[in-house]
Amino acid sequence: MSAFICFDAVSKSYGDVKVIDGLNLDINRGEFVSLLGPSGSGKTTMLMMLAGFETPTGGKILVDGNRVDHLPPHARNMGVVFQSYALFPHMSIAENIAFPLKMRGLSKSEMATRVNKALDMVQLTAARARKPSQLSGGQQQRIALARALVFEPKVVLMDEPLGALDKQLREHMQLELRELHKSLGLTVVFVTHDQNEAITMSDRIAVFNAGKIEQIDTPQAIYSRPKTKFVAQFIGETNLMKGSVAGTDNGIATINLSNGSRVSGRATDVLKQGSEIVLSVRPEALTIGESTSHANSLPVVVEDLVFQGDHTRVHLDCHGTKLAARVSGPTHFFVVGQVTNVSFSPDACAVVSQ
């Protein structure tokens, strides 16, 4: 079965500058997919092409098997939520929500029923007569969401919709959006530059870098099986160690680290003997101490201990390479200057090209 939303070799140039470069992306019906990447990587451009506010300069966009890339926005029937809520300031909350229905020529009674349902969904029935300026940022965001959902679109597109909210409200809204996605069976394409937000909310994450997708996978796979150095560094915290491939066997590569040690790790690509690589290992995968059962062990010196509440970050030096370990249990037996080992399992490492 083909995907519900399909970007087929889509490019977008402004003058001579190519901001999206022959990009393929399939999104399934009912899926929550995040476009995650640094500022300027092309996320908004992708969303605007899907919404119909921008036209691709190459390739095709299909929804449900039909080409949409030359249809105007209103003919695509997609709900769109922007970072700035873009509510109409002179209209009441109820009028704001009714606007897309008015544009579609629904009857007064049908409009009233749907507006009431949408207000109820975002729990703002009591605010229906107020103006947007009389609501908090979080409430305005919920109204923008209600307006995007009121005409029961097949697809909802959101561009950093929680970016302007403070941390607590943002986390609350993340959970609300997840619930709405599930209960309404929506297909959501969600743009964010916040990796935690993408990990929390998504079925799959597409990691963008300079107009290309570096990896598209589940949050778990993106975190524990990054396929490129960019993905390993962009998602979560990691330790990177340079080296070269001494050999591979059954997907496990033996690595000569440039600091002289030899370790093994899971190879994500086909890696040739002698190729220059980077080994990525997460702070929580490192065990500090003399004797552990992990296959990889490196000599280290403890440089600093930083208490973080629920864990302690232990800064280590391994022949000049700085490493960080995350320790959840007690740390009173570690002292600064202590010479010890750090060990980790080959399965906890990702070996990617340099």
Where do contacts with Mg ion occur on this chain (CB under 5 A)? 44
Q: In whole angstroms, how close is the CB of 43 to Mg ion at the nearest point?
A: 5
| By the rule CB under 6 A, 16 interacts with ligand ADP | no
State both tokens at 167. 């941390």
Separation between Cα atoms, residue 130 and residue 25, nearest integer Å: 41
Which of residues 9, 14, 152, 336 is near ligand ADP by CB under 6 A?
A: 14
Which of residues 6, 19, 68, 188 is near ligand ADP by CB under 6 A?
A: 19
* Closest CB to ligand ADP among residues 45, 228: 45
Binding partner of residue 40 among Mg ion, ligand ADP, none, CB cut-off 5 to 8 Å per kind: ligand ADP
Q: In whole angstroms, how close is the CB of 10 to ligand ADP at the nearest point?
A: 13
> Which residue(s) pair with 11 in the sheet?
58
How many residues in the chain? 354
Ranges within 44-73 binding ligand ADP (CB under 6 A): 44-45
Closest to 23 in 3D by CA, of 224, 249, 298, 210: 210
Q: In whole angstroms, how close is the CB of 41 to Mg ion at the nearest point?
A: 8
| By the rule CB under 6 A, 189 interacts with ligand ADP | no
| By the rule CB under 6 A, 162 interacts with ligand ADP | no
| By the rule CB under 6 A, 39 interacts with ligand ADP | yes
The site that binds ligand ADP (CB under 6 A) totals a number of residues, namely 10
Q: Are strands 262-267 and 212-217 parallel, antiparallel or unpaired?
A: unpaired
| By the rule CB under 6 A, 43 interacts with ligand ADP | yes
Using CB under 6 A, which of the segments 40-48, 71-79, 92-100, 327-335 binds ligand ADP?
40-48
The answer to whether 247 touches 201, Cβ cutoff 8 Å, is no
221-230, long-range: CB within 8 Å, 24+ apart, which pairs? 223/199, 223/282, 224/282, 224/348, 224/350, 225/266, 225/268, 225/350, 226/268, 226/280, 226/350, 226/352, 227/268, 227/269, 227/350, 227/352, 228/352, 228/353, 229/278, 229/280, 229/352, 229/353, 229/354
Q: Which residues bind ligand ADP (CB under 6 A)?
A: 14, 19, 37, 39-45
